[in-house]
Amino acid sequence: MNKTIYNVVGTIRGKTEPDRYVIIGGHRDAWAYGAVDGAGGTAAILELSRVYGRLLKEGWRPRRTIMFCSWGAEEHNLIGSTEWLEDNLKLLHGRAVAYVNADILVAGNASIRVVASPLLYNTIFNATKEVMNPNEHDRAEGLRTVYDAWLMSFPNKRNRTNLLFPNYSHSSVIDDFDDLPVKTVHNQSSLLDSYIRNAMQLVRPKIREMDMRGNYAPFFVHAGIPAVDVSYVHDSTMSSSSYPLHHTEFDNFDFVKNFIDPSFKYHATVTKILGELLRDLSDSLFLPFNLLDYAQTLQDFYVNLQSKMKAHMEEHGIDINHLELAIKNFSNAALKFHSAQETVDLSDPMTVRRINDQLLLLERAFLDPNGLPRNPYKKHIVMSPSESYLSSSSIFPGLLDEFLNLELFPQDTESSELIKAHFSVLVFTIQSAAKIIQNV
């Protein structure tokens, strides 16, 4: 049987940078009734379009264009969003700022669970700090915001020795970077200072690595568009498994009303978070991307690779120090970029545009036209999910896949050669990303 698929797209044109797109999308189709999986996200998108429409009538208009998208055929392997992305790939490559996903908004009422690109860590942390925790009991216990409850449920406790700047609060970064402005480093209200402090926190909420479970996947892994997905979950685990009634006829309005969210306050809360994400991404002077979050993520991946696979890499004649140097170069470039960002003339639109263009193109720099060795569709070779389907592996996916294949088939000479070739591509890609954010 052949059927026509429809995507519905509504647009609010930006006033200053109309050729920069902030996209929010969710799927309209469902297995059976789909009250949780589909309807909740659709309701949020409709409500946000109503709210932003009212703001337009009151005279407000975002700096950048906002696109509201309703996808068809998501349940059939993400067909609607994937085909739309591929149809507009060249256009989106130069214009898309970020993709905000709205599919399963509320599958429980314990805490939010987030999947996101490192470029959007800063934005989602800020958004959840602005939205009140809907749980009255939690608020009575001092967990006032969604961020507070998220941190309590999913704390990410990091090893100080693995941080890029572990002692930043006690000693200045200026000791290592002589060309940073002194006023920037020591000014605690500066953008650079806040970005370093936030990226180097020892404990902050856990954000899941990207997977292939939602409409956000093709935007991120194929097109290199920063993506984020936010949902309330039914328990306090970071498991990627969904709610028990997923894709059954019992996923209906009564299930939501009687068991998940009787007053729909959790739906309203996630909608507020999504609205704040849209506002920040579409109306901030500078794109709110903290590059140091990406630098730290690369560092974390390198530490895991070194601890688990260094001996295997040496067996194949690979010098892992080349990767370490590339990550260090990227980290230095990120720090200098944010330092220079604070000194630009904010009244010069071309200078602001140049900074934003560098931020916009950074995620694309991690794409390789050949993709992962075992899945060419996944062009993002740094943070695409591994083909081995290991959850939260926190290791560069292409290398992980080949080493796991070698463990299963030790005599596979193809994997041995692929490891060497992919390692060089990975180093080149990270070095290229560093060049994207260097001063021009």
pLDDT tens across 365-416, in order? Answer: 999 999 999 999 999 999 999 988 655 567 899 999 888 888 888 777 777 8
For 190, counting Cβ atoms within 10 Å of its Cβ (0-12 exposed, 13-18 middle, 19+ buried), the class is: middle
Rounded-to-integer distance, Cα 83 and Cα 231, Å: 25
* Residue 381 confidence (pLDDT): 97
Residue 279: partners with Cβ closer than 8 Å, 6 or more residues away = 62
Rounded-to-integer distance, Cα 164 and Cα 178, Å: 17
* Residue 84 confidence (pLDDT): 96
* Residue 2 confidence (pLDDT): 85
Domains of the chain by start residue, with CATH: 8-156+206-283 (3.40.630.10), 291-437 (1.20.930.40)
Q: Residue 47's closest CA among 241, 325, 270, 312?
A: 270
8 A C-beta contact, residue 149 and residue 111: yes
Q: Residue 230's closest CA among 124, 76, 307?
A: 124
User: What does the longest C-alpha to C-alpha distance in the chain come to?
Assistant: 68
Tens-place pLDDT, residues 97-139? 999 999 999 999 999 999 999 999 999 999 999 999 999 999 9
* Residue 353 confidence (pLDDT): 97
* Residue 1 confidence (pLDDT): 76
Q: What is the rounded radius of gyration, in angstroms, for the C-alpha atoms of the chain?
A: 22
* Residue 291 confidence (pLDDT): 98
Backbone dihedral region of 334: left (phi > 0), alpha (psi from -120 to 50 degrees) or beta? Answer: alpha
Tokens of 121: 């860590």
The size of the chain, in residues, is 440
Cα→Cα distances 183→81, 186, 289, 402, 421, Å = 46, 6, 22, 47, 44
Average pLDDT, the chain: 90
* Residue 118 confidence (pLDDT): 98
Torsion sign (Cα): 188, 190, 196, 199: positive
Phi, psi of 166 (to 5 degrees): -65, -25
Beta strands in 3-49 (DSSP E): 8-12, 17-27
* Residue 182 confidence (pLDDT): 45
Q: Is the pTM of this model over 0.85?
A: yes
Residue 326: partners with Cβ closer than 8 Å, 6 or more residues away = 427, 430, 431, 434
Residue 309: partners with Cβ closer than 8 Å, 6 or more residues away = 395, 399, 403
Rounded-to-integer distance, Cα 170 and Cα 241, Å: 41
* Residue 184 confidence (pLDDT): 47
Rounded-to-integer distance, Cα 112 and Cα 117, Å: 16
CB-based contacts of 131-135 (< 8 A; 24+ apart in sequence): 131/269, 131/272, 131/273, 131/276, 132/269, 133/269, 134/265, 134/266, 134/268, 134/269, 135/109
Q: Residue 41's closest CA among 282, 231, 219, 217?
A: 231
In the chain, DSSP finds a helix count (H) and a strand count (E) of: 16, 8
* Residue 97 confidence (pLDDT): 99
Q: Residue 100's closest CA among 48, 145, 156?
A: 48
Provide the residue-wise pLDDT of the chain in tens; the chain has 440 residues.
788 999 999 999 999 999 999 999 999 988 888 888 888 999 999 999 999 999 999 999 999 999 999 999 888 888 989 999 999 999 999 999 999 999 999 999 999 999 999 999 999 999 999 999 999 999 999 999 999 999 999 999 999 999 998 876 534 555 555 556 544 444 556 899 999 999 999 999 999 988 888 999 999 999 999 999 999 997 766 555 677 777 788 887 888 899 999 999 999 999 999 999 999 999 999 999 999 999 999 999 999 999 888 888 888 889 999 999 999 999 999 999 999 999 999 999 999 999 999 999 999 999 999 999 999 999 999 999 998 865 556 789 999 988 888 888 877 777 788 889 999 999 999 999 999 999 87
